[in-house]
Structure 1
Amino acid sequence: MDTTHRTIHKSLRVSLKGQNVTIPSMYEVFPEWKPQIHPQWVVDKRTAKGLKAADFAVFAAVWNPKCSFEVLCTAAKYYAWYFVYDDIFDCGTLKYNKSAAIEYRDASLQYFKFFLCGEGSPPDLSSFDTELRNGLHCWDEVGTHICQVNSKESRQVLCDEMLRYVGSLDNVDSIFEIYETPSPEQYWERREATAAVHCVSATIPFVYGIDVTKEQMEAQAMKDLWRHTSFFVHISNDMFSFRKEVNDDQIENLIPVLMMNENVTCNEAMQKGYALLQEEAAGFYDAKKRLIADAKDEDKNVSEAFIEGCLNIAMGLAHWSYCGHRYFKPWERDSQDVIHFTVGPPPAPPVSAVCTSSESESFLGKFPIWDMCLNLVHFSPLIIWTVGAIAPRFTKLASVSA
């Protein structure tokens, strides 16, 4: 983004600092949903320490509460990969390098076509630096497992969504190069692809051990279920990640878009976001009802898997956001799961919350994957903790950095 575009919303960026905001409880939107944690998500005491510090694997364990441990591991790696890869564009090497972003995006498209569907040849990544090479290679093990388990038709569903996601990625805040003030509709058109929610949903056949056909995926009720799940995740993630993105000098987020379009305060925009969440939940229930009613006998297991999986994805991500420290600190969340914060750097922890232990440094230093993480991207300590914690189980992934 050039200097003009970077400064055009300076007044908005400045005005955000210091505003007080409240995020109502996400759990109230789907009150019947309760987190079910995979019983094997913590495998030993040493791993448990890392997972407790990050709370990252909560999403994988909630999203996949009934799958095998091997599938759980792959799902956790896939979710970690998404943050690693996405941060390369948002706050890593490609943040403001448009030509390099296009080149890397094209190589990524070639990579997923070859890996998931056997189309073409693998891309030559030798011209990219370590961060960018690892950004793709750390998905190798995920793709290998998926290809071993799912039919080509199911892999094609995932491939289509991966290509849509990767093809939409651009430099941070690039939508403001096209629209000085994008409308909510223009924002959603871009956000639906860049958030990769459909990519996660497309792994439900892998997680639940089913195969899907093109006909099943094209049923209108199924499409609506996916769409409402996707928008629920977009909205909730934008609400949770808003402060972090503002601190990273990003305003490509639903909250600033609503503020600019409706001339409202930050907190008013947040409440409007919550109202949109409620609308998407109502749409989800309607799509669920139609999907069950329309399902033929041979479709019932697919319908049931996608209903359960989509709900776990929508609420699992919200649950992880509450449990982890990527967006908020524990003392900013009250007993009713309402979050209160001031836009700007998170406040210092109370004295009782300060940890002076050096265990994390010595723990991570034991694993070669730590070096890969440092070279991969300047992402949250949350993700560094996660990959370090699961490294003993994922030796193939660690070898990528060798």
Structure 2
Amino acid sequence: MSAILSILRWRPWFLQESDSRQNLLESLQGRSVNIPDLQSLFREWPQGVSPELGRLENDINEKLKILTQHLRLFPEVKRREKMKAADTALFSATWWPYADFEALRTVTYLSIRLFAWDDDSCEFSTLCTDIVKATEFRSETINYINKSLGISYDPKPVETPSNAIIPMFGEIGERFRQSSSLGNSLPTSSYFP
């Protein structure tokens, strides 16, 4: 119970303590809290692990090797280890257990890129402390993704972004375009690692 109360008390420095939150904390002190079985809430969710997990793991290991060795996207040992530990193949195989291999591969590649992008936006860079650079990074990412998906109305060709993580979305954009009803009629990007 004290652990739950500690979690409820924790607030980031930039958020104000609210009276209703404090009232809730006070009303819970000294009481037992019973958390019901939540399985019934998830009974309609797909459950299981994709039979493509082994094949996907091999594919993802090769992709990570390309990203780290050839494109040098994860130069820090800590970052490479974190990417491997994320086990994106298992993550995708359990979230989308009934997806066909290509769809599973696409969402796994997207997961890798999102995890890497998120890490790059804070943990492995100075973007957390530089609001101007962080804003530019996000803006450049949005523009690149829009162009990669073919939904940008900017007639200029896609340029190689300043941050090596951003172009990782290009392949995902291409995969999404190929699987969409618009197919290959959308413009393609000039840079896909």
Normalising by structure 1, we get a TM-score of 0.28
Q: Does 1:9 align with 2:39?
A: no
Contact conserved, 1:88 with 1:95, CA < 8 A, in 2?
A: no
Residue 103 of structure 2 is matched in structure 1 by 71
1:78 Cα deviation from its structure 2 partner: 0.5
**Counterparts of 1:146 and 1:57 in 2: how far apart (Å)?**
19
Aligned to 1:104, the other structure's residue is in SS state helix
Aligned length: 131
- Cα distance change of structure 1 residues 34 and 108 upon mapping to structure 2, 3 Å threshold: closer
Q: What 5-or-longer segments of structure 2 have no aligned partner?
A: 1-11, 15-34, 62-83, 184-191
Aligned residues of 2:46 and 2:96 also touching (Cα < 8 A): no
1:37/1:62 contact within 8 Å kept: yes
Q: What letter corresponds to residue 135 of structure 2 in structure 1?
A: I
Q: Which of 166, 169, 181 lines up with 1:151 in the alignment?
A: 181
Give the secondary structure class of the aligned counterpart of 2:52: coil
1:95 aligns with one of 115, 122, 128: 128
Cα distance, 1:65 vs. partner? Answer: 2.1
Maintained 8 Å contact 1:111/1:122: no
Q: Distance in 2 between matches of 1:141 and 1:149?
A: 12
Picking from 147, 160, 178, the partner of 1:114 is 147
1:122–1:61: structure 2 CA closer, same or farther, 3 Å change rule?
farther
Per the normalisation by structure 2, the TM-score is 0.53
- Structure-1 residue corresponding to 2:169: 139
1:22-78 deviation line (CA, Å, top 9, x unaligned): xx698536252462221112128x849x7x965432231123222221111111010
* Structure 1 residue 43 corresponds to structure 2 residue 73: no
Which residue number in structure 2 is paired with residue 85 of structure 1? 117
Paired with 2:175 and 2:100, the residues of 1 have a C-alpha distance of 13
Q: Which runs of 4+ in 1 moved over 6 A?
A: none
Q: Higher helix fraction: Structure 1 or Structure 2? A: 1
Return the structure number with greater relative CO, CA threshold 8 A, min gap 6: 1
Q: Measure the CA separation in 2 of the matches of 1:25 and 1:78.
A: 34
Task: Note the alpha carbon deviations across 1:159-198, whole angstroms, 9 max, x for none.
Answer: xxxxxxxxxxxxxxxxxxxxxxxxxxxxxxxxxxxxxxxx
Query: Which residues of structure 1 form unaligned runs of 5+?
Result: 1-7, 11-23, 154-396
CA separation of 1:118 and 1:39: change in aligned 2, threshold 3 A: same
8 A Cα contact 1:61 1:72, kept in partner: yes
Cα deviation for residue 113 of structure 1 reads: 2.1
Amino acid at match of 2:39: E
What is the SS of the residue equivalent to 1:112? helix
Tell me the distance in 1 between the aligned counterparts of 2:112 and 2:180.
21
CA RMSD after TM alignment: 3.9
Measured in 1, the distance between the counterparts of 2:37 and 2:91 equals: 15
